[in-house]
Amino acid sequence: MTRMNHPRRPLSCRQIILWFVTAIMGLWSTLGMTSNQLSLAEAIQQAIRLDPVLLMTQWDQTALESEADAAGQWQDPALLLEMANLPRDTFDLDQEPMTQIRVGLMQTLPRGQSLPLRRQALMQQATAEQWRGQLRRADIRRAVTLEWLDAWQAGQSLRLINSDRELFQYLVEVVTAQYSSSLADARQQDLIRAELELIRLDDRLTDLAMQQQRALARLSARVWDSAQSVSHIELADRDDEKHLEAALNALPDGFLNSDGIDEAILAEWLMDHPALNVLDQSIAIRETEVDLVRQQYRPQWTLRATYGYREDDRNGLDRPDFLSVGATLDLPLFPSRRQDRRRDAAQARLGSSETRRWQQLRTMLGELSAHREHLKGLMSRRALYQQRLLTEIEQQASASLNAYTHDDGDFSEVVRARIDALNAGIDALNIDASILKSLAQIAYFLPAVMATESVEGS
């Protein structure tokens, strides 16, 4: 028999759409496989590198350092050029003996130590900008850590619910099989209840996915430029238990013991915080300003030297040229309206800066103490969940399911037990996330005492 060649039929519209959708899904899968993973340490590094405020701080510091170099220099000398004692009737240079062409220089000297004090004040401002940069880095590190943990927490919750959804799907299949072989009304109610719980789980999954996308959007605004998209972010996997243990070990010995570490020790640790260093530098600037105002009580000298050239007289006799030197001196004889007021204003600003630092220390100490107490409570809850609650709830859920599959239990109890187990797992996850967030807050306040790398992970 000879093979007959049938003409190939053109693709139908449905086949074209199916091919197009398959190609798009394959492309999407490829993009997902090559998408970027983002660890916490990488996120912090990227956010610091791309932060515009840090860049502005560096420019401000450079500008102040340049101004400090200029402020330490004397004023430019003044050149004097004049025609002196010129007769108005003839304007002849040789008519009068006092007629002369004068050339001179004037140099104003700074008051007391005003120049080095001005330079010192500007250098102190530059140092303050440097500390503001350190404070900004600490703020970025804390903010990115909290945002990263929000996204990580939502992702872990999605994993837990997806895992339980498979079990609820299995329950639906079991109830469907039993309902198909039974006419009992209870089986129909069980089937409706199982399907309802599946719908509720899907709703929770949708809500958590929205939360994760919001957290990723906030995170991507910090760590990526406009050329990259939030949909490309994938959080890098990490050994949660290992990193949590490392973060807790980074705490100072006895930190969670109020008797071992009191507020005086916490206040001493806070002294190295960039926020307080900025205020310390502000106080130093105000002290320099007070010293600078005191220089206004000292006189200011202006030195002057001139050379006067004279023409020979009309008879041809030589007239000697003139050389003049002199100095002017201002005398602050009535300081009550100017110097005293400026001194009082400078001292008032100094007092304000000192009070602001004291208030900042009080605020930070209160926040650190609150985070410590919150962490102590979270650790107690975590111990309760790990040692008893999770195990007992899981045992109850397994027992309820086993009894139901052997026709010796109520389906409502099975559903309730599984929901309790799911909620307990999510609660335990939320506790771990809250512990990590509290550790990030504590690391922000104690950068010199607590190793933040342990919280961030690798």
pLDDT at 89: 74
What's the DSSP call for residue 251?
S
Q: Are 230 and 213 in contact (CB under 8 A)?
A: yes
Mean pLDDT score, 321-333: 85
Q: Residue 67: which of 127, 20, 126 has the closest Cα?
A: 126
* Amino acid at the residue 80: L
Q: Residue 41: which of 225, 214, 229, 236 has the closest Cα?
A: 236
Report the chain's mean pLDDT, rounded to a whole number: 80
Instruction: Please check the confidence at residue 236 and state whether its pLDDT lies above 90.
Output: no
Instruction: Please check the confidence at residue 228 and state whether its pLDDT lies above 60.
Output: no
pLDDT at 254: 79
Instruction: Please check the confidence at residue 31 and state whether its pLDDT lies above 50.
Output: no
pLDDT at 24: 36
Kindly report the number of other CB atoms within 10 A of residue 239's CB atom.
Answer: 10
Mean pLDDT score, 23-33: 37
Q: Are 246 and 443 in contact (CB under 8 A)?
A: no
For residue 458, what are the CA distances in angstroms to 44, 81, 154, 453? Answer: 11, 72, 21, 8
What's the pLDDT tens digit per position in 394-434? 888 888 878 877 766 677 777 788 888 888 999 999 999 99
- Least confident piece of the model among 15-19, 49-53, 152-156, 284-288: 15-19
Would strands 37-38 and 234-235 be described as parallel, antiparallel, or unpaired? parallel
What's the pLDDT tens digit per position in 261-293? 778 888 888 998 999 999 999 999 999 999 998
What's the pLDDT tens digit per position in 79-125? 988 887 778 777 777 777 777 888 999 998 888 888 999 999 999 99
Mean pLDDT score, 10-19: 41
CATH code linked to domain 36-225+255-456: 1.20.1600.10
- % of the chain exceeding 70 in pLDDT: 81
Mean pLDDT score, 334-339: 73
pLDDT at 27: 38
Q: Which residues are paired to 309 by β-bridges?
A: 101
pLDDT at 9: 43
For residue 338, what are the CA distances in angstroms to 189, 242, 341, 342, 343? Answer: 91, 66, 5, 6, 9
Is this model's pTM higher than 0.85 or not?
A: no
- Least confident piece of the model among 33-42, 232-241, 243-252: 232-241
pLDDT at 25: 37
DSSP-assigned letters across all residues of 394-411: HHHHHHHHHHHHTT-S-H
Mean pLDDT score, 11-38: 42
